[in-house]
A and B are shown apart, each in its own frame.
Chain A
Amino acid sequence: MILAKLAYKSLLNRRASVLLTLFTIAISVMLLLSIERVRIDAKSSFSNTISGTDLIVGARTGDIQLLLSSVFRIGHTNNGVSWKSYQYITSQRGVKWSIPISLGDSHKGQAVLGTTLDYFNHYRFAKKQNLTFNKGRPFAAINEVVLGSEVATKLGYKLGDNIVISHGMGNTSFHHHQDNPFKVVGVFNPTGTPVDKTLHIPLAAIDLIHGGKASLEHEHEHDEHNNLTGHPKQVTAFLMGFNSPLYMLQIRRNINQYKPEALLAIMPTVTLKELWEMLAIVEKTLLLFSFVVILISLLGMLTTLLANLNQRRRELAILRSVGARPWQLFTLISMESLLTTLLGCVVGCALFYSTLFLGADYLQSHAGISVNIAMLSRYELTLIGVIMAAGFIIGLIPATRAYFYSLSDGMSIKT
């Protein structure tokens, strides 16, 4: 008890150097935790983005580029797949379902995706979960739109609102499709995937807003409120599900050798893994750096403690003279380093959470990583434990020296 009080008062007395040490430890803890949290959340965000889809087909490009543009809305493809090829491929034997998607338009910086009703039935994310509605229903007419949860909350849209889609990506697009406002009929529940940031409109509407006549031609044949039959000349990509993996492999080969058009079929799970492995080197470098930072901060603590110890030999002699035993001085010094490390970790966690709060939005909107502002996981607690243990072990070095000083100096006061 008296030792804890002495350690505390002694630390307080040397607060300038102690605070600096504490902050280097805090910053390194914050760095390590942030890197680890982003790494793990990025990984789960990535692998949760799409599931249950066997193949993604698009114009020939890189595997990863196709995945990024079709699933993550990052980058864009110049070419599409013609409607004819789409129809031909999806009519093959073994194809269970298909979802055509058409990208390239935007609304206030949010991606607009043209698709069919199959999207609502077959698109799956995370652990084969279907998209569910928070409010409303799927689109049923050509001028209806279904919003991702983030679009709705961020832009403050509710059911019944009319919105205007602009051509091309970005807020500052010159060409607004003013003539064709869309009515909000549904809002999805949050998914933690790019779906949250997407506006979903009927595929037939894509050509319409670009001045195509696809649906106008059919207008007289259909009921106005159930008019989704039009189709564009081409789609950006399409997703497919199969009855059996055997069909999938065969059709994949056929698509990749398809003569009329240069197409590419990728298996999203495989490509996601490739993408992640590409990032793994970055991830490992970051991890290495944060461990080095921790090492440096702990060495800094060791330096300060050892430098102080020489000046504190008098203090040790005084404590000896009032009856402190050598092991008590050992405890005193190691308690000081433990206390510094402990406070460093606490401050580090506080910094970590403030970074998360400040950075979560940015990561979500710029990197598509939904960072989880949750309690510390068991893994993160283990990391902190390792740092604490390292700090404690390093503190044993000056403590051991204090022990032997107190034996050799005895009561004679050095310095």
Chain B
Amino acid sequence: MINLKNVTFKWHKSDSSPTLNIKGLVIEKGEHIFLHGPSGSGKSTLLAILAGINTATSGDVTLLNQTLNKLNNTKRDIFRADHIGIIFQNFNLLPYLSPLENVVLGCQFSKSRQQKALSQSATLNTEATQLLNALGLTEQNHNKNVAELSIGQQQRVAAARAFIGNPEIIIADEPTSALDTQNRESFINLLFKQANNSNSTLVFVSHDETLKPLFDRFIDLISLQEQV
């Protein structure tokens, strides 16, 4: 599913040591991975490489049998749009779109996700509505101004946007750091439920180790990079 082999990454060619150095990382389909790393451990870099926004300086990054570093920029952008859903830390909705429109946006840059969404519902809007309902955002909030939603509600919308059109991989970058403990757990459980529903692989990144017990598998980024 996700396979990293001898991956290094340098921001600049002149950098003496790489920002990221991973000998091997394999993630199976449908796994819920907790990727832990304190700030500065190369978390954001790894995510950017997984999402195909940056390419590895050396080594191979293979997702769904596609070697990302062998694709050109446009193909990588299309690959991301088709197969990866991303949830950010906070405030990750477009302020000028309604919650519903924000969700639909998730499949508007990808034909294949649009088709998948339409194979499940008659219109993109119905699919988005169903997802929002499933993630616990009541319908009266679907067309509100985004700014009127609480952070927790905004994260649900962001999650729905990541899940629409059933992408194979969901990357969540510190999605719970703005939530309190109680909301954190319920949000993560919603993510699990939705990931199971759509059979997606979930890569959850955080510096907060207290979340560790909730996940199938725990990977520590620092020890991962120390492997020889």
Residues on A lying within 8 angstroms of B by beta carbon are: 2, 6, 9-10, 12-13, 314-315, 317-326, 328, 410-413
Instruction: List the A residue with the shortest CB-CB distance to B107.
Output: A322
7 more A-B residue pairs beyond the given contacts A321-B86, A413-B91, with a C-beta to C-beta distance below 8 A: A318-B93, A319-B94, A322-B81, A322-B109, A410-B48, A410-B53, A413-B89
Answer whether residue B97 sits at the interface, using C-beta atoms and an 8 A cutoff.
yes
Q: Name 16 interchain pairs, CB-CB below 8 A, sorted by A.
A: A10-B96, A12-B96, A315-B95, A318-B94, A320-B53, A321-B88, A323-B80, A325-B73, A325-B74, A326-B73, A410-B53, A411-B48, A411-B53, A411-B88, A411-B173, A412-B44
Most buried by B among A10, A13, A321: A321
A322 touches B105 (CB 8 A): yes
Q: Report the minimal beta-carbon distance from B64 to chain A, rounded to whole angstroms.
A: 15
Most buried by A among B47, B89, B96, B106: B96
CB-CB under 8 A from A410, the residues of chain B are: 48, 53-54
A318 touches B92 (CB 8 A): yes
Number of A-B contacts (CB under 8 A): 66
A2 touches B108 (CB 8 A): yes
- For chain B, give the interface size range: 20 to 34
Answer whether residue B82 sits at the interface, using C-beta atoms and an 8 A cutoff.
yes
Answer whether residue B203 sits at the interface, using C-beta atoms and an 8 A cutoff.
no
Q: Report the minimal beta-carbon distance from B52 to chain A, rounded to whole angstroms.
A: 10
B51 touches A321 (CB 8 A): yes
Known contacts A2-B109, A411-B47, A411-B51; A323/B96 CB under 8 A:
no
CB-CB under 8 A from A323, the residues of chain B are: 77-78, 80-82, 109-110
Which of A6, A325, A413 contacts B88, CB < 8 Å?
A: A413
Interface pairs A-B: 4 shortest CB-CB: A323-B81, A13-B96, A323-B109, A321-B86
Instruction: List the B residue with the shortest CB-CB distance to A10.
Output: B96
Q: Report the minimal beta-carbon distance from B178 to chain A, rounded to whole angstroms.
A: 12
CB-CB under 8 A from B173, the residues of chain A are: 411
* Complex-state Cα separation, A410 to B80, whole angstroms: 13
A413 touches B51 (CB 8 A): no
Answer whether residue B161 sits at the interface, using C-beta atoms and an 8 A cutoff.
yes
CB-CB under 8 A from B106, the residues of chain A are: 322
Q: Report the minimal beta-carbon distance from B203 to chain A, rounded to whole angstroms.
A: 13
